[in-house]
Structure 1
Amino acid sequence: MTFLLHYPEEQRTVTSLALYFNMTKATISDAVKSLEQKNYLVRKPSQTDTRSHSLHLLKEGRAIAKKVEHFAAPMQEAVAASPAKEQGVLLEQLMQLIYQLNQQEVITHQPMCFNCEHYASGKKGPYCEELGISLKQGNLRVDCPVFEAKG
């Protein structure tokens, strides 16, 4: 539900959810049906593809999603209490772990710097060619709006 709260309409489909969460469409469809029955969301037909539907939270579903999205607040507060340099190190370590799991096909590829066509590593270190910024620890991105998968 938090995915539906924050992602654009074109990504709020059963197919996108299945890819993002590395689940089958059938599993996602079952969850969507359950949420529809509870009046937390509705499907709206796509204007461009008659076989597809986008998912839209209803008032109660939106309220639950906003409440649930703060599940990680204690962890975020603990990280925020650390010095900025340590936060950057932690971010890079976590992203390296995710990247390694991607490479081993344990989890699906994530839209982050290490998997991006724009990511470059040169004499001055990691760099985003699209944004024109150095990607030192604090600048690494997950779910970047300019992400393009490699290859």
Structure 2
Amino acid sequence: MSDFNPKQQINSVSSKIVAGLERISEAYKVLLWEKAKQLGLSPIQIQILIFVNYHAIDLCNVSHLAKEFNVTKPTISDAIRVLLKKGFILKAYPSTDSRSYAVQLTESGKEMVNETEHFAAPIKHQFETLSESNQNNLYKSIYQLIFKLNQVGILSVQRTCFGCRFYEKQGSQSYCNLLEQQLKESDIRIDCNEFELKAV
């Protein structure tokens, strides 16, 4: 029986969670589309601008962006072409291969990020009404789910502590060998700038 069948959800908490996450994903899409329509951009263009603003240039090329957002390279290339035309980004060539380029924000691109990056604020506000304990428990479930979805190939990119070469489990305690400190549950990161993939 489908997880989206209300009868299935009656006796299955996991089905209720799946249905609930689907509704939350709809909320993100609605908020992103509203912002996109206001500014004459597409949702993926907004996502690219925000991502480029906060990540290293070696992650800001067509190949990686396609993996990051689980879309095709032509979709990313089309979005980049529009952003270049609008003057929000420019091409950069971090390697000697002139065929391979990354993108960087222009000043107007940075201004556009300021206009768009808080599109999910209404959702964050609702999380902030939860107790600290409930927030921490929810966050733990989320970062574990992201890692597991990556492990089974559904999410192609993750930069959580669990997949990082600096992460170590010491008994029941998490430890970061880069920071040289133990990690509380709330210290575990979903998107770490120092992330380096653990060798298999």
The normalised TM-score by structure 2 is 0.66
Are 2:103 and 1:62 aligned? no
Q: Residue 103 of structure 2: SS of its match in structure 1?
A: strand
CA RMSD across the alignment = 2.1
Larger Rg: 2
Answer with 83-92 or 102-111: which moved more.
83-92
Q: Residue 120 of structure 2: SS of its match in structure 1?
A: helix
Gaps of 5+ in 1: none
Q: 2:164 aligns with which of 116, 119, 122?
A: 116
The structure carrying a bigger helix percent of its residues is: 2
1:29-68 alignment, distance < 5 Å = 29-46=77-94, 48-68=96-116
Alignment: residue pair count: 151
Deviation at 1:8, TM superposition (A): 2.6
* Cα distance in 1, alignment partners of residues 77 and 161 from structure 2: 30
Partner residue, 1:24: 72
Could you list the structure 1 runs, at least 4 aligned residues long, displaced by more than 6 angstroms after superposition: none
1:70-149 alignment, distance < 5 Å = 70-149=118-197
Deviation at 1:110, TM superposition (A): 0.3
User: Identity of counterpart residues, as a percentage?
Assistant: 34
Deviation at 1:139, TM superposition (A): 0.8
Are 2:81 and 1:12 aligned? no
- Higher relative contact order (CA closer than 8 Å, sequence separation 6+): 1
* Cα distance in 2, alignment partners of residues 86 and 133 from structure 1: 25
Whether the 8 Å CA contact 2:136–2:185 is kept in 1: the answer is: yes
Identify if the C-alpha distance between structure 1 residues 43 and 109 changes in structure 2 by more than 3 Å, giving closer, same or farther: closer
Whether the 8 Å CA contact 1:109–1:115 is kept in 2: the answer is: no
Answer with 28-37 or 131-140: which moved more.
131-140
Identify if the C-alpha distance between structure 1 residues 11 and 103 changes in structure 2 by more than 3 Å, giving closer, same or farther: closer
CA deviation map 1:100-119 (0-9, x unaligned): 21122111130111212222
Identify if the C-alpha distance between structure 1 residues 58 and 118 changes in structure 2 by more than 3 Å, giving closer, same or farther: closer
Whether the 8 Å CA contact 2:163–2:198 is kept in 1: the answer is: yes
